[in-house]
């Protein structure tokens, strides 16, 4: 079966979800424009065509949309197609999916939860390659010491901050967001962009 994709509106703009017979293959956050989003899909999923969503895909889109509107929804049962994903990445993704909305862990804490101490860098590499943004909520994983770490979606770390603010139901990420982390440095305040 040829992969399908659907574009859908979210509070961040137009996103896209790509699926195949085994489940979701990727979720893409908004690009600067629709052409950029379509180019990314074509580059990573050659031959994928825009298609009507099967019921399970429509349900996943509805859940992602609700999450981006600030609802705490469980995306843990959304079926992912993990073909071609390295075994360690799969372990990381399975663990990350258990982090509740609005909460965070560090890369080191994730490595401890995986019984793989010292693998914080490998955890970060797995999350940088995460094709299932939001569904595998890599934005909920921060650097040790209170830093944001990286984020490979359009907008980078600013998008990560915005996602965390949405999940916490705040317009501003206060310095207290990172206060529970050891050795947290002072942080700036970031305002969430509102759609015009």
DSSP bridge partners of 71: none
Q: Is there a catalytic annotation at residue 53?
A: no
CA atoms of 34 and 38, how far apart (whole Å): 6
CA atoms of 76 and 136, how far apart (whole Å): 8
| Spatial CB neighbours of 89, under 8 Å, sequence gap ≥ 6 | 126, 129, 130
Three-state DSSP class for residue 79: coil
| Spatial CB neighbours of 169, under 8 Å, sequence gap ≥ 6 | 70, 102
Choose the catalytic residue: 29, 41, 138, 148. 138
Nearest to 190 by CA among 180, 182, 178, 181: 178
And the tokens for 132?
């299932």
| Number of C-beta neighbours around residue 187 at 10 A | 17
Where in the sequence numbering do the catalytic residues fall?
138
């Amino acid at each position: 079966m040829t992969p399908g994709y659907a574009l859908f509106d979210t509070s961040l703009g137009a996103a896209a979800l790509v699926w195949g017979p085994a489940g979701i293959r990727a979720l893409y956050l908004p690009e600067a424009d629709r052409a950029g989003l379509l180019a990314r899909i074509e580059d990573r999923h050659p031959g994928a065509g825009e298609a009507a969503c099967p019921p399970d895909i429509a349900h996943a889109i509805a859940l992602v949309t609700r999450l981006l509107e600030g609802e705490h929804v469980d995306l843990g049962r959304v079926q992912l197609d993990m073909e071609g994903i390295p075994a360690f990445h799969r372990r990381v993704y399975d663990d990350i999916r258990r982090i509740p909305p609005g909460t965070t862990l560090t890369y080191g804490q994730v490595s401890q939860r995986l019984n793989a101490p010292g693998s914080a860098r490998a955890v970060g590499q797995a999350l940088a390659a995460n094709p299932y943004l939001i569904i595998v909520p890599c934005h909920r994983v921060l650097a040790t010491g209170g830093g944001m770490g990286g984020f490979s979606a359009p907008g980078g770390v600013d998008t990560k901050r915005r996602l965390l603010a949405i999940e916490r139901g705040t317009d501003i990420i206060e310095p207290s967001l990172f206060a529970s982390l050891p050795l947290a440095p002072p942080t700036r305040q970031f305002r969430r962009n509102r759609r015009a």
